[in-house]
């Protein structure tokens, strides 16, 4: 009975994390441009998965903000999608299964993950990383592109992707500083880049521990068609947490500089 409970608990944890296949975050960082999916790939790269709003949510669930946590209607309650990606050079329709999309019909080699949720609160691209940097960290530097394929018929959809973080798959926090606005991600066709933004995790991530990122696309309050957007050129870098010895060396160095300055002043 105890073994069965442990098995169920492990299965529940994997369900929360969304995939048993995490991708390694190395000391040199992690980058993904999705081009390896090719023009017909139906599966996202290792570590990536698609989530949709839980049952009972709809297109008016997140009209002004995206809820991070809660039993329902939240990022934490989103459900893993089992659908294959639809490969497309020109996505035009809403689809909860997500797209392996080309950047454009003239550049099909440049691939990205695209979303245009329907019927529920929204969709999210999740990245599951395992800390294999060789050190703990409490801050990430992230960059990514948002590609807008189409404009919504009105501007009542929250613009672009909102980034959420979790260290356990059950409790999520929004990176509010990166929430786009219509000024930064307008309701027009085009590309917006988030370049090397620092993101605090609120706790140290030890070697071997997982960290999850979700780029959430809400479902427009209006009926279809919604705006179709894509995620591309993702980069994640972790800076090590300074060891106590490093602080001691820094303080010692500052002390020597202070003594030298005093000596010069006396002379």
Q: Cα(182)–Cα(211) distance, rounded to whole angstroms?
A: 29
Q: Which residues contact 61 (CB under 8 A, 6 or more apart)?
A: 53, 73, 120, 121, 122, 218, 219
| Global confidence as pTM | 0.85
Looking at residue 43, its pLDDT comes to 97
Pairing of strands 95-104, 86-88: parallel
Q: Cα(42)–Cα(52) distance, rounded to whole angstroms?
A: 17
Q: Which residues of the chain have pLDDT under 70?
A: 1-20, 155, 223-225, 242-267
Q: Which residues contact 192 (CB under 8 A, 6 or more apart)?
A: 145, 146, 148, 160, 180, 184, 185
Helices (H), 101-146: none
Residue-wise pLDDT for 185-240, tens only, equals 998 999 999 999 999 999 999 999 999 999 999 998 776 667 899 999 999 999 88
Continuous segment of H or E residues that includes residue 262: helix 244-266
Looking at residue 34, its pLDDT comes to 98
Judge contact between 221 and 59, C-beta under 8 A.
Answer: yes
**DSSP code string of 18-67:** S-S--EEEBTTBEEE--GGGTTT--SPPTTEEEEEPPTT--TTSSSS---
Looking at residue 220, its pLDDT comes to 83
Terminal Cα-to-Cα distance of the chain (whole angstroms): 80
Looking at residue 255, its pLDDT comes to 57
Query: Encoding tokens for residue 59?
Result: 């297109």
Looking at residue 151, its pLDDT comes to 83
Q: Domains of the chain, with CATH numbers?
A: 22-266 (2.60.120.260)
């Amino acid at each position: 009975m105890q073994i069965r409970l442990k098995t169920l608990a492990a299965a529940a944890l994997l369900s929360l994390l969304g995939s048993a296949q995490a991708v390694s975050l190395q000391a040199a960082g992690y980058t993904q441009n999705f081009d390896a999916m090719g023009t017909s790939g139906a599966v996202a790269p290792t570590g990536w998965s698609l989530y949709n709003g839980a049952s009972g949510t709809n297109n008016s669930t997140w009209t002004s903000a995206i809820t991070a946590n809660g039993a329902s209607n939240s990022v934490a309650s989103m459900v893993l999608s089992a659908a294959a990606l639809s490969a497309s050079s020109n996505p035009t329709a809403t689809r909860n299964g997500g797209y392996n999309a080309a950047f454009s019909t003239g550049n099909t080699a440049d691939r990205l993950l695209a979303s245009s949720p329907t019927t529920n609160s929204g969709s999210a691209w999740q990245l599951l990383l395992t800390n294999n940097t060789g050190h703990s960290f409490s801050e990430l530097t992230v960059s990514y592109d948002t590609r807008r394929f189409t404009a919504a018929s009105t501007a009542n959809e929250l613009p672009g992707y909102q980034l959420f973080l979790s260290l356990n798959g059950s409790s999520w926090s929004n990176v509010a500083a990166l929430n786009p606005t219509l000024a930064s991600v307008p309701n027009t066709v085009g590309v917006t880049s988030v370049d090397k933004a620092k993101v605090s995790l609120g706790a140290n991530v030890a070697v071997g521990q997982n960290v999850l990122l979700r780029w959430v696309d809400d479902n427009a309050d209006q009926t279809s068609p919604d705006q179709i957007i894509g995620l591309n050129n993702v980069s994640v870098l972790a800076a090590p947490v300074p060891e106590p010895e490093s602080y001691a060396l820094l303080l010692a160095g500052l002390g020597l500089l202070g003594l030298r300055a005093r000596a010069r002043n006396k002379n």
